[in-house]
Amino acid sequence: MTPRHPRAIAISADQEVPQTTLKWMAAAALVTGTLLATVSLARADGHETITVSHAYSNFGAIKYGPDFAHLDYVNPDAPKGGEISTWSQGNFDSFNNYTRKGVPGSGMDVMYERILTGTADDAYGVYCYLCTTMEYPESRDWVIFDLREDITFSDGSPAGAEDLAFTHNLFMEQGLPEYVNVVRGFVDSVEVLDTYRIKFNFAEDAPRREVIGFAGGTQMFSKAWFEDTGTRIDESTLEPFLGTGPYILDSFDVGRQIIYARNPNYWGADLPFNVGQNNFDRIRYEYFSDSSAALEAFKAGEYTFRVENSSKDWATGYDFPGVTDGSVIKTEISDGTIGSAQSFVFNLRRPEWQDPGVREAVRLMFNFEFSNESLFFGLYERVNSFWENSDLEATGTPSPEEVAILQPLVDNGLLDASILTADAVMAPVSGPRNFDRRNLRRAAALLDEAGWITGDDGIRRKDGEVLNLVILSFSPAFDRIINPYIENLKRLGIDAVLDRVDISQYIDRRRTADYDLVNHTFSMGFEPGFGLRQWYGSETAEDSSRNLMGLQNDAVDQLMEVVAAAETLEKLTTATHALDRVLRAEGFWVQQWFKDKHTVAYYNMFRHPEGFPPFALGQFSWWWHDADAEALLRDQGAL
């Protein structure tokens, strides 16, 4: 799993939604593995065999061969043209996704590309994109990427190995420490062999299952542009970096609107990966303060495509003429990605939340069953696992193979022996009414045991200190979910409050760990590895965009090493089960919900191929615009 830089966070109604890359890109585009469909070449010194290939996979056969014409899930004859528009919540004041300064705008990934890419129908394969082939030895001590010679930046200037090496070094010099530390664990050095050949030399201790995919995740920025402009990646900027992607920034209005335009001179338009893709001339983002205002704007035709993240709106908000008369399509599309483990997370840096019994008491007061029935219209399932809805999720009691991994940690006193025989921890179950007396009694007993005693005023104190709890949020639509939780916490004697702030304050307070509970989404991939350290590693506890809870746990650190070292899918699955089991037992979260489908509404002017690949919706990628249908909608006054 390749480390990624922090993303802007937007909470839309009852789901927390990353603003940038698709989940399948995180899951599939940057995995690593053993090449298939390869050519083997003997090295001159005869010590190692060199493998050369267009693609790479740890597990199973590569789906697409070197001479494929187009991806299976696209329409190769899809017309180009038109605009697709959507919405984003909050505001933005930067086009730099790689700094903690400023709020980055939505959709920037369309301007940039990486050496390797994934597909939406192959969970484990990665393919040469900026390269034609890759070559590496059996030891996987290094990889050489043979770059395409026709790559150009969006201004028409040529791109090559010097730009890739510059980009790598730029991030090492100016990137966030949590990212830089991970990269140092993988890459010793980068060498430019010639204009279109670049070599990554890997650290001796780097997990060999991941190294090639890790290097292949390197983006390409223009060395000349950075040197001419003096731009730094650790500073906020309203001028996007010069990239090689299919779109460029057309226009923007800070905090209100962003428009990307398809580059008519895009170098990669005819690549097999891009046949039937990048079909829209423009991609427009409209910004709104909350989901309700955005939905009203959608009804009025101010934008044309909406991924609905409010169960209430999905159930009650689409009874308007456009849906009735067919001008707007409202549909559900299957989502085969790993369920995002959305939750509230505790700030473990604060002493009151370091007690697992206190955390369990707080967790018992959140009533998912009431929320799902009364607030979510039964749309969601409960999150129990960090790898929800996948084969990587731990279930039941540990298998003998899991016990073999966990036993040494028990023997060393890092885990309680109960982990070897207990079922995987599940989220608490409550009754149909928000206030569940049974869970209240259990929670009260836990707090009493921890020394938090209820006073005459109904507030719990320990050593004279009040048990306070601040839930940080910025979305008004989330109030209806948090407020019933607050009520239950107050009945327990916790002085709980909802602190809703604007998005700039929200992002700043997340970065500085100024909260007791905050929303977080753990987006795991199908092939977890070294990058897990950004999420759960002790070394990231004090400064991380992903380890928001500040987790420091020796057993978790050691289990992540076992996951990273797994060389077969069977061993990876077993090791991930063990890690999932231990993370869930730590109880640093209050699990929320997920759904295994996309709920989308769009004006009846967009088309897509029949069927969908399992790992992406692809509305900006392989959908296309029907100009005649748009003209009809405008004639009817729908737009």
| Helices 437-449/356-364 angle, 10° precision | 160
Among 140, 148, 287, 120, which Cα is nearest to 210's? 140
Which amino acid is located at 258 in the chain?
Answer: I
- Tokens 């919900």 locate to 593
In tens, the pLDDT along 283-315 reads 999 999 888 899 999 999 999 999 998 888 999
Q: How far apart are CA 313 and CA 333, in angstroms?
A: 17
* Band of pLDDT at residue 38, cut at 50, 70 and 90: very low
Among 330, 116, 73, which Cα is nearest to 220's?
116
For 201-349, where are the alpha helices, taking DSSP H only? Answer: 211-216, 223-229, 291-299, 311-316, 321-324
Q: What is the pLDDT of residues 221-265, one digit of tens each?
A: 999 999 999 999 999 999 999 999 999 999 999 999 999 999 999
Confidence of residue 11 (pLDDT cuts 50, 70, 90): very low
Region 436-456: what's the mean pLDDT?
Answer: 96
Residue from 72, 38, 70 nearest 57 by CA: 38
The number of CA neighbours under 13 Å toward the Cβ of 491 is: 19
pLDDT on residue 157: 98
pLDDT of residue 14: 57
Could you give the residue ranges of the DSSP H alpha helices within 496-542? 503-511, 532-536
Percentage of the chain lying above the pLDDT 70 cut: 93
Residue 563 to residue 572: CA distance in whole angstroms: 6
Q: Percent of the chain, pLDDT > 90?
A: 80
The H-or-E segment that residue 591 falls in is strand 589-591
Q: Which two tokens stand for residue 418?
A: 């109960």
Distance of CA 620 to the CA centre of its chain: 17
| C-alpha atoms less than 13 angstroms from C-alpha of 366 in its C-beta half-sphere | 24
- The whole-number pLDDT of residue 475 equals 86
State how far the Cα of 589 lies from the Cα of 4, in Å rounded to an integer: 22
Can you tell me the distance from the alpha carbon of 14 to that of 594, in angstroms, rounded to the nearest whole number?
10
With tokens 């035709």, the residue in question is: 301
Contact at 8 Å (CB) between 535 and 490?
Answer: no
Domain ranges (residues) in the chain:
341-594
Question: Does domain 341-594 sit in CATH 3.10.105.10?
Answer: yes
Tell me which residue of 537, 533, 501, 541 sits closest to 519, measured CA to CA: 501
Half-sphere exposure in the Cβ direction for 250 (13 Å, CA): 18
